[in-house]
Amino acid sequence: MSIVLNKKVTISNVVRHTLLVTLCITTVAGCVTIVSKAGEKAGSNLAGAILNSNDLETIKAGTPAYLILLDSLIQAEPNSSALLSSAAQIVNAYAGAFVEEPERAKILSEKSLDYAARAACLHNKELCSSRAKNFEAFKASLSSLDSKDVSAIYTLGSSWASWIQANSDDWNSIAQMARVQLIMETVVKLDEQHDKGGAHLYLGTLASLLPPALGGKPEVGKRHFIRAIELSENKNLLVKTLYAELYARLVFDQELHDRLLNEVLASDATTPDLTLINTFAQKKAKKLLAESNEYF
């Protein structure tokens, strides 16, 4: 069971859609890191094939082979921070974007978070025991970081969000969203351009999950969505799709909602390195627009 946050919006589907933003970049980056050891050209070709595909089902069907490969590589190199980070990204993105079965999602998201936490600890000892620390100690560890740590904590935060999604039937898990928020705020502070503004998208999502009466901050969310659009140079169509679904619906702004979705549908999905994600965004936008009059 998922925790319902506002009308027709759940933590589970929100985080799943947000993870799709990073699916192309992080999954392919991880694949390239691994495959490049067998041949840089093969890795480059694989990256291009995935990023520029408009076939979501083929990508969904093809990714599991890499999950098996990852397990074998990590068994051989259990203390490789780079390998653990790449593995966390791939498992995280696959589980969050494509896995529907609750128990399987829990297993994969736990694996992703474990990999990410181990990678972060190997990268910087201040990040060790991140899951076990109390909130104040966790906050103190993040305050000691600099720009060299951004990639490690962004992967940790993304994997943590996926884990929360998979365990959204447990309020103790939901409470850990504060840690994800703190991580993404730290990323923005140190390097807001990382992953083309991906941290802003996470923060926009988190701020727009609840109405103001329940602690939500939709106007803060709006600012993050707008900044994410700017940092992606208006090329990542899923940012506008989520902006419409989360912010515009939360504040009941149908004009903004429909305008954003029509802009997504009018855009060319074929964009270098973003074709796959833009294809998904347009599919989602079409569905949201069809529901507009009923929702508002």
Tokens 């089902």 sit at which residue?
A: 57
| pLDDT greater at residue 10 or residue 96 | 96
| pLDDT greater at residue 165 or residue 29 | 165
- Predicted confidence (pLDDT) at residue 13 exceeds the cutoff of 60: no
Model confidence pLDDT, tens digit, residues 248-288 = 999 999 999 999 999 999 999 988 878 888 888 999 999 99
- Predicted confidence (pLDDT) at residue 101 exceeds the cutoff of 50: yes
What pLDDT score does 62 carry? 82
- Residue 151: phi and psi, rounded to 5, are -60, -40
Model confidence pLDDT, tens digit, residues 80-100 = 898 898 888 888 877 767 888
User: Token pair for residue 130?
Assistant: 């991140």
Q: Which domains does the chain have, with CATH numbers?
A: 4-295 (1.25.40.920)
- How far is Cα 201 from Cα 35, in angstroms, rounded to an integer? 29
What average pLDDT does the chain have? 84
What pLDDT score does 294 carry? 96
Chain center to CA of 192: 15
Q: Which residue(s) pair with 4 in the sheet? A: 10
Tokens 């929360």 sit at which residue?
A: 164
Q: What pTM was computed for the model?
A: 0.83
- How far is Cα 155 from Cα 26, in angstroms, rounded to an integer? 9
- How far is Cα 250 from Cα 7, in angstroms, rounded to an integer? 8
